[in-house]
Structure 1
Amino acid sequence: MSSIPVTVVIGSAGRRLYLIDWFRQAFDTLGVDGRVVVTENDKTSSSATYGDICRILPSYGDSAYESALLDLIADLEPLLFISVNDYELLHLHVTTDLADRMRQSGVLVPGVSAEWQRGCADKLQMAKMLTAIGVRTAPTVAGGDSAGLSALMAGSDDVVVKHRFGSGSSGLAIVPAEKAAEAVSESLLSAPTTTGGPPSPDDVVVQPRLSGVEHGIDIVGALRAPGELAGVLARRKMRMRAGETDKAVSVDPAPFTANSALIAEASGLTGLIDVDMFLDENGLSTVIDINPRFGGGYPFVHLAGADVPLYCLAQALGRDVGQEWASYEPGVVSAKYESVRVTARESASLPDSAQ
């Protein structure tokens, strides 16, 4: 009987076909017979027919999701499970104990502690947690905090308004300080909540607009030693589109290493998290957001020479690949582009000409 190929599962892979390709390349580099399994809720998504295997799972909010996921784990025996969806991650690490149950069955599930997973999903709480560990972050107040909002407005020319529990740049607006209340009212119209009820001003946060240049940072922790910093990768953002980095240039990660080490240790990090930081003219970095997953900015350092999929796979297999995976060339400019692929075919009857 042939042995089961080494299996990596990418949950909610969506449009990130490059991540599937790069794990396949990592299998080849390590000389391993492997396969990439994609889990999706939509069988016609870009990635559903791109993986070596696709499993269509119920939505993570569906009561059938748990049994379907655990059946997949038992059937395919993956070595590594990576989700790239913020809300699925919250469900796996916080709402349920599924991440821990997968780990108990022998699957490596990278991420941060449940406390930090909750914090990453709540921008107000995240600011408090970063301050508590000595990491510079933007002063953050809830939209319903009248006193805090007034103080922030008094000391700022422009403010940033965004959803407190949003993903990416949802609800984002940059406005003059005197228009903060108006922007809060506009943002909360589409703000997600944790209760399922109508949003309130406290479901929106307000921060001063920071000086300096925005960077995307990948903080990578050892997969088998929670909190141990393995590497830091950085790019300067040059253009954004739909809340995601569209063009960037790879840069020296040194200015971001101190903050990265503090975050990795405090969060019990394993694997990769995507962090947005501003770098000011004095070389000081300030954290504004954390996404505990592969983010849309990772390709800009991968194309410059970094290789986190290779590192993750090697760690999962217990192999030492040195530090070459974290080495990349500064000054490489990359830009995203659009492509399209057939994902399904429908049988559709012709319209009734009599109607």
Structure 2
Amino acid sequence: MNILLTSVGRRSYLVKYFQDALGETGEVHVSNSSSLTPAFLCADKAVVSPLIYEGNYVTFLKSYCLENNIKAIISLFDIDLPILSANIQAFEEIGVKVIVSKPEVIEICNDKLKTFNFLIENGFKAPKTYISLPAAMEALEKGEISYPVMIKPRWGMGSIAVFEAENDQELEVLYKKVYGEIKASYLKYEAQENLDESILIQEKLKGEEYGLDIINNLENKYENTVVKRKFAMRSGETDCAETVVEPKLEELGKLIGKKLGHTANIDVDVFFDGETPYILEMNARFGGGYPFSHMAGVNLPLAIIKWLKNESVDSELLVAQPGFVGHKDIEIVDISKIFNV
């Protein structure tokens, strides 16, 4: 069984996890829109794809899958998810399973305003959120929220254009800055239909930050929640964390997994003061915090391979040992071979 990881970037560890899961039974292929991609070095086969929003992107992937006997696709990038989700049926017609949530789930996770609405409508706690500068300024004047506040893209990822404002002047300046950065980056693609409502202002949450890996199977049925206490962040993803036992957050993950009905993994950011958890964001893919779960004993790649083969999965395969503390390192990778191709 060959699988394809799209938008693979620097996720070399995931390539290796899936290679270990497949063993001698298949290959891990990867794609990215640039050849300057470190994960290309460890994959069994790599290919440079068109940009996600180019008209031939899906056609390219379908042709590649047919030529290389690919049986499943997994994307590692938020912007890729809605494109692949909208084309699940087209890939199934050529015998390829796209492991991605349904379009409505992707929309809830990618659109942070819809994330907020979903959470509030279903009884979860979330930071107070405003879709316009005047609405946020009015809330500040009324004392509904107080400084500092966070300004961020409505459709955003990786801490791109996320800022903290301490007063009215900073809020106005940073609001304009976020608007400019959205238009100048790939964030413009998801924001382009509603650019005037593409920025959110949120209250800054208090408490310790946790990451949840909420795992459903490929039939969208809940399996388990892995809880990690975060010690450090870098570029919007977990840099150092510890796997912990926290019943309230495990129950929270179970409720989200059942209510959302996602496929495989979602990565959820939570602030928790020991009493009340507040959900900040949800990412419908393998998140940057998954390696901590994996090194603590979870093996979601192997579970996915078994589910694809209609084999039973031992529940212990999705359980993390508490007390594992991990820290991501920085290592220089020689990409001369792929750069000079």
TM-score, length-scaled by structure 1? 0.86
* 2:224 maps to 1:234: no
Equivalent pairs: percent with the same residue? 27
**What is the Cα deviation at residue 119 of structure 1?**
2.2
* Structure 1: gaps spanning 5 or more residues: 1-5, 349-355
- Report the secondary structure of 2:228's partner residue: strand
RMSD over aligned Cα atoms: 2.2
- Aligned partner of 1:353 in structure 2 is none
**What is the Cα deviation at residue 152 of structure 1?**
4.7
Flag the structure with larger Rg: 1
* 2:204 maps to 1:209: yes
* 2:173 maps to 1:185: no
* 2:158 maps to 1:168: yes
- Aligned partner of 1:21 in structure 2 is 16
CA distance in 2, matches of 1:347, 1:118: 38
- Aligned partner of 2:138 in structure 1 is 150
* 2:45 maps to 1:53: yes
- Report the secondary structure of 1:67's partner residue: helix
* 2:55 maps to 1:63: yes
Residue 182 of structure 1 aligns with an amino acid whose one-letter code is V
Alpha carbons of structure 1 residues 213 and 103: separation in structure 2 relative to 1, 3 Å: farther
CA distance in 2, matches of 1:220, 1:109: 17
CA distance in 2, matches of 1:235, 1:195: 31
- Aligned partner of 1:127 in structure 2 is 116
CA distance in 2, matches of 1:34, 1:302: 21
**What is the Cα deviation at residue 267 of structure 1?**
2.9
- Aligned partner of 1:300 in structure 2 is 292
Report which of the two has the higher share of helix: 2
Alpha carbons of structure 1 residues 257 and 301: separation in structure 2 relative to 1, 3 Å: same
CA distance in 2, matches of 1:266, 1:106: 29
* 2:138 maps to 1:138: no
Alpha carbons of structure 1 residues 158 and 327: separation in structure 2 relative to 1, 3 Å: same
**What is the Cα deviation at residue 280 of structure 1?**
1.7
**What is the Cα deviation at residue 168 of structure 1?**
2.2
* Most deviating of 208-217 and 337-346: 337-346
* Structure 2: gaps spanning 5 or more residues: none
- Aligned partner of 1:3 in structure 2 is none
Structure 1 residue corresponding to 2:71, chosen from 75, 79, 87: 79
Structure 1 residue corresponding to 2:269, chosen from 273, 276, 288: 276
- Answer whether contact 2:157 2:236 (CA < 8 A) is retained: no
Alpha carbons of structure 1 residues 157 and 271: separation in structure 2 relative to 1, 3 Å: same
- Report the secondary structure of 1:125's partner residue: helix
Alpha carbons of structure 1 residues 67 and 267: separation in structure 2 relative to 1, 3 Å: same
- Report the secondary structure of 2:40's partner residue: coil
Equivalent runs, 1:283-322 vs 2, <5 Å = 284-322=276-314
- Cα distance per residue 1:110-166 (max 9 Å; x no partner): 23221121222211121011212222211211133x134421562324211111111
Residue 176 of structure 2 aligns with an amino acid whose one-letter code is S
Residue 240 of structure 2 aligns with an amino acid whose one-letter code is K
**How many residue pairs were aligned?**
332
Equivalent runs, 1:236-251 vs 2, <5 Å = 236-251=229-244
Alpha carbons of structure 1 residues 195 and 15: separation in structure 2 relative to 1, 3 Å: closer
* 2:19 maps to 1:8: no
Structure 2 residue corresponding to 1:257, chosen from 242, 250, 266: 250
- Cα distance per residue 1:297-322 (max 9 Å; x no partner): 11111111111111111111111231
Residue 17 of structure 2 aligns with an amino acid whose one-letter code is W
CA distance in 2, matches of 1:203, 1:98: 25
**What is the Cα deviation at residue 59 of structure 1?**
1.1
